[in-house]
Each structure stands twice: as C-alpha cells, then as structure tokens.
C-alpha cells in the first residue's frame, strides 16, 4: 500500500472503509474542504475508487489490511455498516480515531440490539420481541394479530431481510435459518402508518449536533424512490418532536458522523422508529443541492470533529428521485436528453454499471412548486431507468 498525498497546511486524511457511492459522494466536499480522502476499496473500479487518488483495494474484514490502511489516515469512517467489530477493536487498540465507534455501529448492525437500546432510552418503537421459536412468534401474534413483521437482525437493507408473515407457516424457514446462524429473529408489530419520515442529523465527537429539516421518504417495493424535503404538511411541533427523537438517539447511542432515523408517522401524528443508519443516508441526498451544508460535507466535518455546518434548506422544496438500473445500459445519451429537458435538474451518477433495481444515481430538483418538482424528479428517474421513453 502506498501513501496518500497529503495537502500542505495541516489538513487531515479521512479514511473511508468501502468504496460505494456514499464514499464517492464525499470526494467533492473533501476537495472543497482541502481534506484528503482515502478509500479502502473492494475493487479498483468501484464507485469511489474512480474519483479518489488513494483507493487501495483490500478486504474490510481482514484486520491487517484495515490496520495498514488506517495507519495512513487521521480518522476512519465507513461507507457501509459491515465492518466486523473485531476489526474496529483492533483499530481502537492502535489508537486510531474511528467514527462512528463500534458501540454506535452495533445498533445499525444488529436490529435486536437497536430495539433494546431504543426501548431502554424511552424512544417510541413499534411493539417488538425477539423470537427463537414458533411459540415466540405465535405468542407475539396472539397479542398483536397477524400479519407480523419478521426481520433478520443483521445484514438486511432495502427491503431484504424483511418478511411480512401472514401465518406461522411463513416464518418456519426463517426460524430454522436463524437457528442455524445462532441468531434470533426480530418480530415487529405491523404499524398502520400514514407515511414514512426521516430525520437526518450529524453529531460530532465533541457532542455538537445539527439536524436537517425532517423529510418524507417514499418507498417502492421496499426501496426508497423519492424524498421530499421538508416533509409536506408536517407541522412545526411534529417536526420538532421527530427531530428531538433523532437527537436523543444520537446522544444515547453516542453516534458520531451523519445518522438517519427512519420513522413511521401514525394517523394521530405521532411517530415510531423504523430503522437507524449510522452513516450518510439515501434520505439525505437532497441536501447535496438543497441545503447550505450537504450530508457528505457534514459527515466529514463531524468525523473530523470540526464545527458542523448549517443544515438550512436553500429553497422552499427539494425533491430527490433515486435512479435505479433498468434495461438501458448506455446512460450517457439518456442523461444528455434529461439535461436538455430540465436545466434545473441536478443529476448525480455513481459510476456504477447497470443492474436492474441497483441504485446507480439520483436526481435533485429545487424550487417552490412542489407538484411540479415531484413530476420532474420522477420523470428523470423513470427516464434513465427506461420505464418511460419520452
């Protein structure tokens, strides 16, 4: 492994483990801040490696590899939540600054741990239980009714690792698989929510925190497809209550860096926590163009323990549309067309090859006419995906 180029003036090197689009989107802000980015990449051509001069390829589960990578960096952070605890512990034993730390990270890695910690902290959650047996599931369903939401505590994302069980037969296979892994399953009450919200915030090691406006997220088949910032019609009191939940969680779990708290909004206007992410998050991509400080700049500032930037929205509304892979693979002519159609569109591509359903980019558009913005973001995303052709 060579040595990353260091800018003069005492500016630090931020090492990111994992070379996906979240690491990639730190590259622009890092260049602006004068901070050097280093990426431990899965392969030479992953998303972030294409835009980062120092991106050695290495296995993030191998202690020696990660330790060597970290020896070139002033702080270590993550593109994903899959770095094993023993790797992080080895870094901490070396005296490396790691943000978020392993205690915080565990709550994103293990949903049972997360539920227990949130309940302990008094944060509103759906009713939940751990299940090792059919009896556990039946007891839960007897109390709260079918269907029951069943989750694997580890490794799920974008709707994977989640099962909506209508009857006990649906759960048997998952129970057996969990038992084989030596795990329990997480059971959750199916909450009759009216929509999904997300609180995005950053917290620094010094304990400073800053939250962006609460957004509405729209999922299609378990994958986030649209984010509206701020959440339409959310009154100030409800927005404030949701933000306080986010800040409480960040403080209770000692989160450092950017964190997302995904919420279900219930009919009475109250909220319960759905999921946590201990990193920049899809629900914060709007901030790259719509806020004074975007989430990737803020993440860098937070993990470096720099003062946080203003999360103020620059325009009344920003709508983000996720671009998913579809039939077309030759994307460049497609986005040329979109740029011609809508000069206000901010197109973000991740340098990833197209696979159906894969997140390969997103678009942001800001202004004052929300219906118009939603139509335009949706059109752009659908057009790149090939769902529509004009």
Residue 172 or 336 with smaller CB distance to its own copies:
336
**Contact in structure between 183 and 156 (CB atoms under 8 Å):** no
Helix (H) or strand (E) holding 220: strand 215-220
Smallest gap, in angstroms, from Cβ of residue 264 to its own copies? 31
Look up residue 288 and give its two tokens. Answer: 């790259």
Smallest gap, in angstroms, from Cβ of residue 300 to its own copies? 11
Smallest gap, in angstroms, from Cβ of residue 323 to its own copies? 10
Residue 77 or 109 with smaller CB distance to its own copies:
77
> Which pairs with CB-CB distance under 8 Å and at least 24 residues apart come from 37-41?
37/13, 38/4, 38/13, 38/14, 38/69, 38/72, 38/73, 39/15, 39/79, 40/15, 40/16, 40/65, 40/66, 40/69
Residue 197 or 331 with smaller CB distance to its own copies:
331
Smallest gap, in angstroms, from Cβ of residue 358 to its own copies? 12
**Contact in structure between 187 and 165 (CB atoms under 8 Å):** no
* Distance separating alpha carbons of residues 162 and 222, to the nearest angstrom: 9
Residue 279 or 348 with smaller CB distance to its own copies:
348
Q: Please indicate if the annotation marks 151 as binding a ligand.
A: yes
Continuous H helices in 201-252: 236-252
Residue 37 or 106 with smaller CB distance to its own copies:
37
Residue 283 or 298 with smaller CB distance to its own copies:
298
Q: Please indicate if the annotation marks 375 as binding a ligand.
A: no
Q: Please indicate if the annotation marks 327 as binding a ligand.
A: no
CA angle 20, 214, 110 (to 5 degrees): 50
CA atoms within 13 A on the CB side of 201: 26
Q: Please indicate if the annotation marks 216 as binding a ligand.
A: no
Q: Please indicate if the annotation marks 190 as binding a ligand.
A: yes
Closest CA to 208 of 306, 110, 291, 325: 306
Binding site for its own copies (CB under 8 A): 5, 7-12, 24-25, 27-34, 36-37, 44-45, 49-53, 55, 210, 288-289, 292-293, 301, 306-310, 312, 314-315, 329-333, 335-336, 339-340, 343-354, 361, 366
Q: Please indicate if the annotation marks 183 as binding a ligand.
A: no
305: left (phi over 0), alpha (psi -120 to 50) or beta: left
* Distance separating alpha carbons of residues 196 and 231, to the nearest angstrom: 9
Smallest gap, in angstroms, from Cβ of residue 122 to its own copies? 30
216 forms beta bridges with 197, 228
Residue 159 or 356 with smaller CB distance to its own copies:
356
Residue 210 or 377 with smaller CB distance to its own copies:
210
CA atoms within 13 A on the CB side of 183: 17
Q: Please indicate if the annotation marks 188 as binding a ligand.
A: yes
Closest CA to 51 of 22, 11, 10, 8: 22
Q: Please indicate if the annotation marks 282 as binding a ligand.
A: no
Smallest gap, in angstroms, from Cβ of residue 159 to its own copies? 25
* Distance separating alpha carbons of residues 137 and 129, to the nearest angstrom: 9
Smallest gap, in angstroms, from Cβ of residue 194 to its own copies? 32
Closest CA to 69 of 43, 45, 41, 95: 41
Smallest gap, in angstroms, from Cβ of residue 298 to its own copies? 10
Which residues sit in the known binding site? 111, 151, 188-191, 196, 274-275
Which residues sit in the known binding site for ATP? 111, 151, 188-191, 196, 274-275
């Amino acid at each position: 492994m060579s040595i990353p180029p260091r800018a003069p003036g005492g500016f630090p090197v931020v090492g990111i483990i994992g070379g996906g689009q979240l690491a990639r989107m730190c590259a622009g802000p890092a260049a602006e801040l004068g901070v050097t980015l280093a990426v431990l990449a899965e392969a030479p051509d992953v998303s972030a490696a294409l835009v980062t001069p120092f991106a050695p390829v290495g296995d993030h589960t191998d202690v020696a590899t990660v330790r060597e990578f970290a020896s070139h960096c002033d702080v270590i952070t993550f593109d994903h939540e899959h770095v094993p605890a023993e790797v992080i512990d080895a870094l901490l034993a070396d005296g490396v600054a790691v943000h978020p730390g392993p205690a915080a990270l565990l709550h994103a890695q293990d949903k049972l741990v997360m539920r227990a910690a949130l309940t302990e902290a008094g944060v509103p959650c759906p009713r939940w239980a751990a299940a090792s047996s059919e009896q556990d599931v039946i007891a839960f369903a007897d109390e709260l009714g079918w269907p029951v939401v069943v989750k694997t505590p580890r490794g799920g994302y974008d709707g994977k690792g989640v099962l909506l069980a209508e009857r006990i037969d649906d759960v048997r296979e998952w129970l057996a698989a969990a038992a084989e892994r030596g795990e329990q399953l997480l059971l959750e009450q199916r909450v009759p929510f009216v929509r999904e919200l997300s609180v995005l915030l950053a917290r620094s090691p010094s304990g400073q925190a800053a939250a962006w406006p609460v957004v509405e997220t729209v999922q299609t088949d378990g994958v986030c497809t649209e984010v509206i910032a701020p959440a339409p019609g959310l009154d100030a009191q409800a927005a404030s209550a949701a933000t306080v939940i986010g800040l409480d969680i960040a403080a209770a779990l000692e989160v450092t860096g950017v964190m997302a708290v995904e919420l279900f909004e219930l009919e009475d206007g109250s909220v319960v926590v759905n999921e946590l992410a201990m990193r920049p998050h899809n629900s914060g991509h709007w901030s790259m163009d719509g806020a004074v400080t975007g989430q990737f700049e803020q993440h860098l500032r937070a993990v470096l323990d720099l003062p946080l930037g203003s999360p103020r929205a620059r325009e009344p509304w920003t709508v983000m549309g996720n671009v998913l892979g579809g039939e077309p693979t030759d994307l460049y002519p497609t986005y040329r067309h979109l740029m011609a159609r809508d000069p206000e569109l901010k197109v973000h591509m991740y340098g990833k090859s197209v696979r159906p359903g894969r997140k390969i980019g997103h678009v942001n558009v800001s202004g004052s006419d929300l219906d118009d913005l939603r139509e335009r973001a949706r059109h752009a995303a659908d057009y790149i995906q090939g769902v529509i052709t004009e």
